[in-house]
């Protein structure tokens, strides 16, 4: 079906006014039930599109003035720049940490995040102009830090090949974090890029239970499909770290579940693994707790007690989980890799946000003159 016939709003031309990472802001929308034409005030909106192929999802195509987003000062992230070609995510993970970011666009953090996806259709063109500026220092750029760049929409819009090509051609190291097996389409392109610049690849996978995965991350490829992707990346000679987050209390933290997870990751050839407990920041907490109350009412009280009024599980739980993860990592040959996100339980828990496993961050050794910090600890963020 031709998408041109599915436009819900008329083309509006190029707007100005962008949010911190280049997405036009200010739709004036306050609920998940407003019709698409309520989005007309969204600056930069070209059209809003829905098709039977993506039932229940509306894509809001916008033109962005900038796609390179500077990480806020003081962040613990091991990179300074990010690109998010999509805002909102059809993966619909009930635990997604990025949900609240959708409220910056006047969408809600619940159903809107899953079903109202903003697409920066001119990402590659704008990026090439930004990378060509004399001021660009070729610092590492991370993709997938907010929403997944290989969610289903990428199959239609195909923004990532242009973005990867632009970064590699400019000599800019890059990393990708995803749950999307559509990444396999771009393995040849990533191999070519890796011959030009340092490249890191990370896959988000925290469980092997297909039924649980379908329940908590219904729009994602299942665990078996992602394990196959890890193997394909490694067979292609590319690194692949795995973010085994979130581990869900009473749902995916049993010895059997952890043994299955780390065994499968070892068999797939993951270059490193980081694991950690569910993180419930505002926006995510409310949506996840509604899901728990509906799907696992017997656990609702336990979760309220475990998390109290904060975003992190209790120190006692994190200490227990850290011990189990260390045991199963060692059992399956990951003891040499950095990895539990709550490694220092007395430290600021936000330190976990700067944790990435080996392979997921580009290493600059062998690429003299490139920017980066090869001595930085492997680490993982609470991203998905």
Q: Which of 11-20, 56-65, 97-106 has the lowest mean pLDDT?
A: 11-20
pLDDT tens-digit readout, 244-303: 999 999 999 999 999 999 999 999 999 999 999 999 999 999 999 999 999 999 999 999
Measured distance CA(197)–CA(102) in Å, rounded: 32
Q: How many CB atoms lie within 10 A of CB 115?
A: 20
Beta strands in the chain (DSSP E): 45-49, 58-62, 69-70, 81-83, 86-87, 116-120, 141-143, 174-178, 199-204, 241-247, 272-277
Q: What is the pLDDT of residue 346?
A: 52
Q: Which of 68, 66, 112 is nearest to 87 (CA)?
A: 112
Maximum average pLDDT range among 22-36, 47-61, 335-349: 47-61
118 with 48: CB under 8 angstroms? Answer: no
Q: What is the pLDDT of residue 130?
A: 98
Q: How many CB atoms lie within 10 A of CB 373?
A: 12
Report whether pLDDT(147) > 50.
yes
The terminus-to-terminus CA distance of the chain in angstroms comes to 32
Q: What is the pLDDT of residue 65?
A: 93
Q: What is the pLDDT of residue 323?
A: 94
Q: Which of 191, 201, 190 is nearest to 242 (CA)?
A: 201
pTM, 2 dp: 0.84
Cα-based distances in Å from 107 to 197, 266, 275, 302, 332 = 37, 40, 30, 30, 43
Report whether pLDDT(41) > 60.
no
Q: Is 114 exposed, middle or buried (0-12, 13-18, 19+ CB in 10 A)?
A: buried
- Which residues lie closer than 8 Å to 269 by C-beta, 6 or more apart? 230, 231, 234, 235, 240
On average, the pLDDT of the chain sits at: 84
Measured distance CA(31)–CA(164) in Å, rounded: 35
Maximum average pLDDT range among 5-19, 100-114, 120-134: 120-134
Residues in the chain: 384
- State the pLDDT confidence band at 42, using cuts at 50, 70 and 90: low
Measured distance CA(254)–CA(326) in Å, rounded: 14
Report whether pLDDT(239) > 70.
yes
For the chain, count helices (H), then strands (E): 11, 11
Q: What is the pLDDT of residue 355?
A: 75
Q: Which of 82-91, 114-123, 368-377 has the lowest mean pLDDT?
A: 368-377
Report whether pLDDT(132) > 70.
yes
Q: How far is CA 74 from the centre of its chain?
A: 21
Q: What is the pLDDT of residue 104?
A: 87
């Amino acid at each position: 079906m031709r998408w041109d016939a599915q436009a819900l709003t008329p083309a509006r031309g190029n707007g100005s006014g962008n949010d911190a990472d280049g997405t036009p802001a200010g739709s004036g929308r306050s609920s998940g039930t407003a019709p698409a034409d309520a989005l007309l005030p969204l600056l930069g909106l070209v059209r809003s599109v829905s098709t039977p192929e993506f039932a229940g999802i509306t894509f809001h195509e916008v033109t962005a003035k900038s796609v390179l987003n500077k990480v806020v000062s003081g962040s613990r992230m091991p990179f300074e720049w990010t690109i998010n070609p999509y805002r909102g995510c059809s993966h619909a993970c009930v635990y997604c940490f990025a949900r609240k970011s959708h409220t910056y666009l006047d969408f809600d953090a619940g159903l809107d995040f899953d079903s109202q996806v903003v697409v920066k259709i001119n990402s590659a063109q704008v990026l090439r102009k930004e990378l060509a500026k004399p001021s660009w220092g070729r610092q590492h750029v991370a993709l997938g830090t907010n929403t997944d760049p290989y969610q289903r929409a990428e199959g239609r819009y195909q923004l990532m090949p242009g973005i990867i090509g632009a970064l590699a051609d400019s000599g800019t190291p890059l990393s990708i974090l995803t749950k999307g097996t559509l990444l396999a389409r771009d393995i040849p392109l990533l191999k070519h890029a890796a011959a030009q610049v340092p490249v890191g690849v990370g896959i988000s996978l925290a469980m092997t239970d297909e039924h649980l995965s379908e329940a908590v991350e219904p729009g994602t490829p299942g665990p078996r499909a992602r394990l196959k992707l890890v193997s394909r990346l490694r067979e292609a000679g590319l690194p692949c770290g795995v973010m085994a987050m979130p581990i869900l209390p009473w749902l995916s933290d049993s010895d059997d579940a952890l043994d299955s997870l780390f065994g499968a990751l070892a068999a797939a050839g993951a270059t490193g693994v980081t694991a950690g407990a569910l993180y419930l920041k505002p926006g995510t907490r409310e949506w996840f707790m509604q899901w728990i109350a509906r799907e696992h009412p017997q656990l609702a009280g336990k979760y309220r007690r475990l998390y109290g009024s904060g975003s992190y599980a209790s120190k006692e739980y994190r200490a227990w989980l850290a011990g189990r993860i260390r045991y199963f990592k060692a059992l399956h040959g990951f003891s040499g890799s950095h990895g539990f996100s709550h490694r220092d339980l007395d430290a600021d828990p936000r330190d976990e946000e700067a944790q990435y496993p080996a392979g997921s961050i580009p290493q600059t050794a062998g690429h003299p003159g490139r920017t980066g910090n090869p001595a930085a600890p492997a680490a993982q963020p609470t991203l998905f």
